[in-house]
Structure 1
Amino acid sequence: MNRHKKHHRRRDGVRLSAAVTLCLAASLLLFSRAGGEPLARQAVAALAGNTGFVARAVSLELGLSPSHAEIYTPRTAASARSETAADPQSESTYLPQESPNDAPVLSAADRAATVTINNETSYPVDVEACLSANTTIRAQGDGPQVLLFHTHGSESYTPDAAFPYTPTENERTTDTRYNVVRVGDELQKVLEAHGVQAVHIREIFDSPTYSGSYDRSLAAIEQTLAQYPSIQVVIDLHRDSILTDDGQAYKTACTIDGTPMAQLMFVVGTDDGGLTHPDWRSNLNYITGLQYRLNRTYPGLMRPVNLRTQRFNQHARPGSILVEVGSSGNTMTEALAAIRLFGQVLANDLTGA
């Protein structure tokens, strides 16, 4: 699949100095006054569109230290994942920028108080309004409260010494010791350790045939909800895929309390693609509030919320969540570390702790 042009990292972190920046600006001003105003405007416009230049200028002005965190930008809607795709692709539409190492990063306190929604739909969305709705979901009565499943259960991670295996193309395997089903096992363990009973569907829906995986997982969701009406939250666990044209895999990474781990991302479905999903705004309000609590508890763990035109089976019931747990460049160890923190916050949110 053609994902993006090649990305080249600069390891030495060579950056534009403040003096050079000022000299460049002065040169453009003099050139404009000498009669070259159209060309000067073109040059300024080009610089304004250069994310690396802008990031460096902002860093110099604010005194920020550049970070090695990955920075992601949305791809066009035409590249977005379809629910009816016949080949393995990711729900995510994010790829690293050209020079991610040059971008300034907010402080932990600022990240904790910030919720960003990357809106790929035609609907207007206001984050403040979403948070003001104060939509919460609490555990109700006895029985399972959470349903865990995997529409693309064969999605796996980069092998390492702790989890060695032989993946197929794009890090996939049906061995549940090494794919996202193992991540679901861990999340179930954490939830139940915090007093929240969970049902885990460990079936692989995207193998041997990838096409129709959402139809198969929906049938399993509906059957399980009928069997356990106590379920309040439905979670579809995935693994993202961020690749360059030459096959280089990026990982989403953060370090929390000294432990390196994957980042997580909520993908929120709507009815903008034409499929019935009348409660998507209520679902977005719930997920936005959960994202805020995760940001406050573990700054840096979450990537921005991704609002999409597809519904991803989230019409099945309110409280439906699609979580991207790391990317193909991450290891299982990093994914498990991240899902443990997510599970703690989710359990506390459900129990009101």
Structure 2
Amino acid sequence: MRRHRKSTRRRHGIGLPAAVTLCIAASLLLFSRMGGESTAQQALTHLAGNGDFILRAVSLELGLSPDQAAVFVPRTAASALSEDADSPLAESTYIPQTEDNDNPVLDAADKAATITINNETSYAVDVAACLASDAAIHVNGDGPQVLIVHTHGSESYTPDAAFPYTPTENERTTDTRYNVVRVGDELQSILQDNGIETVHIRDIFDSPAYSGSYDRSLAAIEQALDEYPSIQIVIDLHRDSILTDDGQAYKTSCTIDGQEMAQLMFVVGTDDGGLTHPNWQDNLNYVTGLQYQLNRAYPGLMRPVNLRTQRFNQHVRAGSMLIEVGSSGNTMPEALAAIRLFGQTLADDLNNV
């Protein structure tokens, strides 16, 4: 959480560090106009991630001394750049919301205005076109319709009185009573209570080795699809991990009908990273429609859709999705409350209610 400090205007001009900052920026601009645009852009990109440089620039702009300005530079976890990470970090990139708009009420008349997509790819995305596409999926005949899997099944939550356990490092456990597999059990129960036959793979693919988790889960998904060709939707259910600079777990939460619960987020893969994924736009179209329904029914429940360059095994079906259920700062009851709302919405959609 960002803390805002009361600022006061400086009265003695700009200091030497701020002046140096201004000179650097001006030099790069001049160099770019003289034909060194590519090199200048690389330098600017590097500076954009330099917190001290940004701090000086903001100080100059606002007329503050450097110790009066506070700048937050979001950092991307290393594993967010690869599906085959060696250490258990987050799939998602955390983009903080402003304190004035933490849980917006999404009630705009225009459907597209209710959807936010954090696009990390090189593709242009038209939200209105996604919503206008015929991406509906409905129960079709006999047999299982939904497959639930957990590529990182050991991801768990903050222990509480209802779910006490001793996590390993990074809030993880292979005990399926306390990790995201338990959340998958709840989702399966909700769907089946609504007549949606669901297969749940409860295997742990990220322990004892984290690297190669997606390869192992893909093999299990492909085996399930061969056994149950009626499956239309594949859900890879995760728990996000967001840490503050001092290592404290960030809690993504909202309040629906007086009950505090975890927030959810769709992560949509593409072929932008070079892996074959011809149906990524179909996945995005379908997820965008679900996001709209969830936003209308439960304002604040959903974080923005995260569109990524990685594939995340979502090439296996045109109804594939990755869902982050809360973060490591949430408790299991908060995660279960959120997945119940999602499960009911998905069931209603599949049943064309």
Do the structures match in fold with TM over 0.5? yes
Provide the residue aligned with 2:332 in structure 1: 332
Q: What are the equivalent positions in structure 2 for 1:128-147 lying under 5 Å apart?
A: 128-147=128-147
Displacement of 1:82:
1.1
Displacement of 1:106:
3.3
Query: For residues 313 and 104 of structure 1, what CA distance do their matches in structure 2 show?
Result: 31
**For the structure 1 residues 212 and 118, does the alpha-carbon distance in structure 2 shift closer, same or farther, using more than 3 Å as the test?**
same
Query: For residues 90 and 232 of structure 1, what CA distance do their matches in structure 2 show?
Result: 27
Kindly indicate whether the alpha-carbon contact (under 8 Å) linking 1:81 and 1:92 is maintained by their aligned counterparts in 2: no
Provide the residue aligned with 1:307 in structure 2: 307
Displacement of 1:122:
0.7
SS in 2 for 1:337: helix
Query: For residues 106 and 286 of structure 2, what CA distance do their matches in structure 1 show?
Result: 23
Kindly indicate whether the alpha-carbon contact (under 8 Å) linking 1:135 and 1:285 is maintained by their aligned counterparts in 2: yes
SS in 2 for 1:235: strand
Q: Does 1:273 align with 2:288?
A: no
| Aligned with residue 107 of structure 2, among 97, 106, 109 | 109
Provide the residue aligned with 1:186 in structure 2: 186
SS in 2 for 1:261: strand
**For the structure 1 residues 44 and 311, does the alpha-carbon distance in structure 2 shift closer, same or farther, using more than 3 Å as the test?**
same
Provide the residue aligned with 1:204 in structure 2: 204
Provide the residue aligned with 1:177 in structure 2: 177
Provide the residue aligned with 1:218 in structure 2: 218
Q: What are the equivalent positions in structure 2 for 1:15-94 lying under 5 Å apart?
A: 46-47=61-62, 75=75, 80-94=80-94
Query: For residues 298 and 194 of structure 1, what CA distance do their matches in structure 2 show?
Result: 19
Displacement of 1:78:
6.7
Displacement of 1:110:
4.2
Query: For residues 106 and 95 of structure 1, what CA distance do their matches in structure 2 show?
Result: 15
What do you get for the CA RMSD once the two structures are aligned? Answer: 3.0
Provide the residue aligned with 2:316 in structure 1: 316
Query: For residues 298 and 253 of structure 1, what CA distance do their matches in structure 2 show?
Result: 13
Kindly indicate whether the alpha-carbon contact (under 8 Å) linking 1:264 and 1:303 is maintained by their aligned counterparts in 2: yes
Kindly indicate whether the alpha-carbon contact (under 8 Å) linking 1:73 and 1:96 is maintained by their aligned counterparts in 2: no
How many residues get paired? 305
Displacement of 1:244:
2.3
Q: Deviation digits for residues 12-42 of structure 1, max 9, x if unmatched?
A: x8778xxx9xxx7xx99xx9xxxxxx99xx7
Query: For residues 318 and 163 of structure 1, what CA distance do their matches in structure 2 show?
Result: 35
**For the structure 1 residues 259 and 73, does the alpha-carbon distance in structure 2 shift closer, same or farther, using more than 3 Å as the test?**
farther
SS in 1 for 2:273: coil
1:116 is aligned with what amino acid? T
Displacement of 1:73:
8.8
Kindly indicate whether the alpha-carbon contact (under 8 Å) linking 1:240 and 1:325 is maintained by their aligned counterparts in 2: yes
Kindly indicate whether the alpha-carbon contact (under 8 Å) linking 1:81 and 1:89 is maintained by their aligned counterparts in 2: no
Displacement of 1:253:
0.4
Provide the residue aligned with 2:236 in structure 1: 236
Kindly indicate whether the alpha-carbon contact (under 8 Å) linking 2:270 and 2:309 is maintained by their aligned counterparts in 1: yes
Kindly indicate whether the alpha-carbon contact (under 8 Å) linking 1:95 and 1:242 is maintained by their aligned counterparts in 2: no
**For the structure 1 residues 259 and 14, does the alpha-carbon distance in structure 2 shift closer, same or farther, using more than 3 Å as the test?**
farther
Kindly indicate whether the alpha-carbon contact (under 8 Å) linking 2:80 and 2:89 is maintained by their aligned counterparts in 1: no
Kindly indicate whether the alpha-carbon contact (under 8 Å) linking 1:183 and 1:339 is maintained by their aligned counterparts in 2: yes
Provide the residue aligned with 1:157 in structure 2: 157
**For the structure 1 residues 312 and 145, does the alpha-carbon distance in structure 2 shift closer, same or farther, using more than 3 Å as the test?**
same
Displacement of 1:105:
5.3
Q: Deviation digits for residues 227-260 of structure 1, max 9, x if unmatched?
A: 1111110000000000124320001100001110
Q: Deviation digits for residues 267-306 of structure 1, max 9, x if unmatched?
A: 0000011100011111111111111111111111100000
Tell me, which stretches of 5 or more residues in structure 2 are unaligned? 14-21, 24-56, 64-71
Provide the residue aligned with 2:347 in structure 1: 347
Query: For residues 90 and 15 of structure 1, what CA distance do their matches in structure 2 show?
Result: 34
Query: For residues 250 and 95 of structure 1, what CA distance do their matches in structure 2 show?
Result: 12
SS in 2 for 1:237: strand
Kindly indicate whether the alpha-carbon contact (under 8 Å) linking 1:134 and 1:289 is maintained by their aligned counterparts in 2: no
Give the structure-2-normalised TM-score.
Answer: 0.79
Kindly indicate whether the alpha-carbon contact (under 8 Å) linking 2:263 and 2:302 is maintained by their aligned counterparts in 1: yes
1:171 is aligned with what amino acid? E
Provide the residue aligned with 2:261 in structure 1: 261
Provide the residue aligned with 1:295 in structure 2: 295
1:137 is aligned with what amino acid? I
**For the structure 1 residues 142 and 214, does the alpha-carbon distance in structure 2 shift closer, same or farther, using more than 3 Å as the test?**
same
Query: For residues 261 and 79 of structure 2, what CA distance do their matches in structure 1 show?
Result: 28
Identity across aligned pairs (percent)?
A: 72
Kindly indicate whether the alpha-carbon contact (under 8 Å) linking 2:79 and 2:89 is maintained by their aligned counterparts in 1: no
Query: For residues 172 and 251 of structure 1, what CA distance do their matches in structure 2 show?
Result: 16
Displacement of 1:221:
0.3
**For the structure 1 residues 121 and 237, does the alpha-carbon distance in structure 2 shift closer, same or farther, using more than 3 Å as the test?**
same
**For the structure 1 residues 298 and 15, does the alpha-carbon distance in structure 2 shift closer, same or farther, using more than 3 Å as the test?**
farther
**For the structure 1 residues 325 and 134, does the alpha-carbon distance in structure 2 shift closer, same or farther, using more than 3 Å as the test?**
same
Displacement of 1:128:
1.0
Query: For residues 238 and 166 of structure 1, what CA distance do their matches in structure 2 show?
Result: 19
